[in-house]
Amino acid sequence: MNIHDLVAIDVHTHAEVSCRQEPDVYWAPYDEAASKYFKVGKRPTIAETLPLYRALKIGLVMFTVDTEAEIGNRRIPNEEIADAARENSDIMMAFASIDPHKGKMGVREARDLVESGAVKGFKFHPTCQGFFPNDKLAYGLYELINHYKLPAIFHTGHSGIGTGMRGGGGMRLKYSQPIHIDDVAVDFPDMTIILAHPSWPWTDEALSMALHKPNIYIDLSGWMPKYFPPQIVQYANGQLKHKMLFGSDFPLIQPDRWIAQFKDAGFKPEVHDLILKQNAIRALRLDQ
């Protein structure tokens, strides 16, 4: 990633529309509910996303979410995202998503992706994947990630996926309580852990963990900055100014709109560049 030419690095963007396979009908009800919740329309493909970020001079980390076990929809291949990142390496990094329920086959896939250089990190969504992060079923994946000292993003807090659906679409919020990731941070200290979103209604847990564990960061995706819990701004301006990362949750939130609102949300001017770019350079080890 050509960090010198970028004004920001968005560590949380989603690939939601494949160029290589048709949309899966099993995902349609969740997609419709999310569109209503986030008030968004048609999703772009990966190929349509890249010109937007390039024009804005914003780097991006992109991933899909493998929910084949819990929801039963066919995922977008990790290889499709990796190929896009390889062809746009000046602005893009690919993270893989592998459902921990896939066991040793999942670890095998992860090893192939890492050792080939296809991906630079991983994304987990405990609510949509139906597991507690400290469940041993995921430890094979963590051991690989820890060995290569890679970052992993974990969804935390409320989930827009399933919101408003009957029974929440079967999604259980308990899996994404941040404290379950504290065990992971202890057991795998060489894995950089990024807690995605302000973690509401467990915001204080996430802040405590980021303060306590050197390998834990927080990305501020999924919320427009004017709605952040006040303690997020308080700690970003103080003790956690080096632990907060810019993330949009694109395509649900546009990165330029997030940044414009961020600048008027009470964050001190001296932390703007840290949150928008410098902290991500360190967390993603882009300066090594």
pLDDT tens-digit readout, 9-45: 999 999 998 888 888 898 899 989 989 989 888 899 9
- Pairwise CA distance, residues 147 & 124, whole Å: 18
Give the integer Cα–Cα distance in Å for 34 and 246.
22
Q: Residue range 265-279: average pLDDT? A: 98
Average pLDDT of the residues in 141-148: 98
* Confidence tier at 282 by pLDDT (50, 70, 90): very high
pLDDT exceeds 80 at position 288? no
Mean residue pLDDT across the chain: 96
- Which has the higher per-residue pLDDT, 175 or 42? 175
* Stronger pLDDT, 288 or 136, i.e. the higher one: 136
* pLDDT at residue 277, rounded to an integer: 98
Average pLDDT over residues 210-220: 98
**Cα(159)–Cα(156) distance, integer angstroms:** 8
Sketch out the chain's domains with CATH numbers: 3-283 (3.20.20.140)
Q: Is pLDDT larger for residue 22 or for residue 60?
A: 60
What is the reported pLDDT for 110? 98
Query: Can you give the pLDDT at residue 18?
Result: 84
Instruction: Give the mean pLDDT of 248-254.
Output: 96
Residues 6+ apart with CB under 8 A from 270: none
Q: pLDDT of 75-85, one tens digit each?
A: 999 999 999 99
The rounded distance, in Å, linking the Cα atoms of 220 and 197 is: 5
Residue 221's pLDDT band (boundaries 50, 70, 90)? Answer: very high
Average pLDDT over residues 65-76: 94
How many CB atoms within 10 Å of residue 212?
A: 11
Q: Which two structure tokens, joined as six digits, stand for 34?
A: 């999310």
Task: Indicate whether 209 pLDDT > 80.
Answer: yes
pLDDT band at 73 (very low <50, low <70, confident <90, very high): very high
pLDDT given at position 50: 96
With contact defined as beta carbons under 8 Å apart, do 120 and 284 qualify? yes
280 near 9, Cβ under 8 Å?
A: yes
Cα gap 174→137, rounded to integer Å: 17
Confidence at residue 242, expressed as pLDDT on a 0 to 100 scale: 98
